[in-house]
Structure 1
Amino acid sequence: MNLNKNKTIIKQTEEEIHWYIIDAKQYKLGRLSSKIAYILKNKDNINYLPYKKRKLKIIIINSKQIQVTGNKSKQKTYKRHSGRPGGLKTEVFEKLQKRIPNRILEHAIKGMLPKNSLGRQLMKNIKIYPDNLHPHTNHKPIKLNID
Structure 2
Amino acid sequence: MKTFTPKPADLTHDWYIIDATDVVLGKLATKTAELLRGKNKPTFAPHADLGDHVIIINAEKIALSGKKMDKVLYSHSGRPGGLREDSYADLLKHNPERIIINAVKGMLPKNRLAKVELNRLHVFAGPDHPHTPQKPTPITVDAVAQQAK
Q: Structure 1 residues 14-23 or 97-106, which shifts more?
A: 14-23
Written as runs of structure 1 = structure 2, the 5 A alignment for 1:16-55 is: 16-55=12-51
Counterpart contact for 1:80–1:90, Cα < 8 Å: yes
TM value normalised by structure 2: 0.85
1:138 partnered with 2:133: yes
**Cα distance 1:9–1:118, how it changes in 2: closer, same or farther (>3 A)?**
closer
User: Which of 61, 67, 73 in structure 2 is aligned with 1:78?
Assistant: 73
Q: What is the distance in 2 between the residues matched to 1:51 and 1:95?
A: 37
**Cα distance 1:19–1:53, how it changes in 2: closer, same or farther (>3 A)?**
same
Counterpart contact for 2:4–2:45, Cα < 8 Å: no
SS at structure 1 position matched to 2:75: strand
Q: Percent identity?
A: 38
Written as runs of structure 1 = structure 2, the 5 A alignment for 1:58-73 is: 58-73=54-69
Q: What is the distance in 2 between the residues matched to 1:135 and 1:9?
A: 36
Counterpart contact for 1:24–1:62, Cα < 8 Å: yes
SS at structure 2 position matched to 1:25: coil
Deviation for aligned residue 1:36: 0.9
**Cα distance 1:46–1:125, how it changes in 2: closer, same or farther (>3 A)?**
same
Counterpart contact for 2:15–2:135, Cα < 8 Å: yes
Specify every segment of 5 or more residues in structure 2 that has no aligned partner in the other structure, as ranges.
143-149
**Cα distance 1:107–1:11, how it changes in 2: closer, same or farther (>3 A)?**
closer
Aligned alpha-carbon RMSD (Å): 1.7
Q: Structure 1 residues 46-55 or 29-38, which shifts more?
A: 46-55
Q: What is the distance in 1 between the residues matched to 2:4 and 2:67?
A: 50
**Cα distance 1:8–1:78, how it changes in 2: closer, same or farther (>3 A)?**
closer
Counterpart contact for 1:59–1:126, Cα < 8 Å: yes
Counterpart contact for 1:40–1:53, Cα < 8 Å: no
- Structure with bigger gyration radius: 1
User: Which of 81, 100, 118 in structure 2 is aligned with 1:123?
Assistant: 118
1:112 partnered with 2:107: yes
Q: What is the distance in 2 between the residues matched to 1:17 and 1:8?
A: 22
Q: What is the distance in 2 between the residues matched to 1:71 and 1:32?
A: 18
TM value normalised by structure 1: 0.86
